Amino acid sequence: MDIAITDKEFNLFREIIYNETGINLKEHKKPLLVSRLTRRLMELGINSFSEYYRMVVTDKGELVRLLDRVSTNLTEFFREARHFDFLRGGFLDELKERAKSTGQKKIRIWSAACSTGEEPYSIAISLLEGLGRDSSWDIKILASDICTEALEAAECAVYTEDRLQKVPRCLWSTYFLRGRYGCTGKYRVKGFVREMLVFRRFNLKERTWPIRGGFDAIFIRNVLIYFDRPTQDEIVGKLLRYLNNGGYLFLGHSETMLGKRDGLRMIVPSVYRRSSE
């Protein structure tokens, strides 16, 4: 089914998407928007984008479904591997030293755009490997995203074999259950890893965030590039309020300029430390 979108209709959707999420859809994204929404229109038996827009603005549930479809969920295990090397190395070394002086063996990390879960599970596995599976540590990872469908997949934690290709083969049996019978070729993250994660849906564009601060690290990678510069600056500024003094902010490799601000010092490319001053 081929449903055309007019310039006026595209601008209406672009405006509501920007107002709700901060995502700034450029003109060249029009075909992408059409392709992602056409199937939904077919499901609803709707023949025009104007009619669908009227539904979106009057039905909060349909608005959520719209935002699900415009969200980009490109991710993979151990994407930008140097970040996870840093977690196992310098990051944990600091926390181990802190524990010696304070007796506090607690780690709190936020994956602020967790998509289908590969990033927060990669964080959890890296911490477990770096700590030698020391069970005396209290570790919690908040995994949040705006996309309900992505969060459902993340909580389910089932991945096809091809999605595990960047996970070292020696770790598969330690952290994943291999599917059998009707689930051949699929793997599920083991329960002791899943228990480290807490999943929440919320929108980074919202004025207030329904979470507490006190994170030792925040991952916000390859997401800010979809926002305009004022929204980027606003979100990074808010993130810093939730980051402990001395905590680390992880950005995507193409977002390094966003870390150049007062209160942040680059440690390695795209990893910044919040000043304790």
CATH of domain 81-156+193-274: 3.40.50.150
- Give the integer Cα–Cα distance in Å for 79 and 81: 5
pTM of the model: 0.86
Rounded CA-CA distance 130/88 in Å is: 5
Residue with tokens 């310098």: 90
- Rounded to the nearest 5°, which phi and psi values hold at 188? -115, 135
Structural domain spans, the chain: 7-70, 81-156+193-274
CA-based max dimension of the chain: 65
CB atoms within 10 A of CB 127: 25
Active site (catalytic) residues: 36, 145
Selected from 3.10.20.310, 3.40.50.1820, 2.60.40.10, 1.10.155.10, the CATH number assigned to the domain covering 7-70 reads 1.10.155.10
Provide the token pair at 21.
């999420």
Q: pLDDT tens digits, the chain, 277 residues: what are they? A: 568 889 999 999 999 998 888 888 888 888 888 988 998 898 899 889 999 999 999 998 899 888 888 876 678 999 999 999 999 999 999 999 999 999 889 999 999 999 999 999 999 999 999 999 778 999 999 999 988 989 999 999 999 999 999 999 999 999 999 988 878 889 999 999 999 999 999 888 888 888 888 999 999 998 888 788 888 888 888 999 999 999 999 998 877 666 667 778 888 888 999 986 5
Instruction: Please check whether residue 189 is in contact with residue 133, taking contact to mean a CB–CB distance below 8 angstroms.
Output: no
Q: Tell me the C-alpha distance between 147 and 106, whole Å.
A: 29
Q: Where are the alpha helices (DSSP H) in 131-269?
A: 148-156, 172-175, 191-194, 229-241
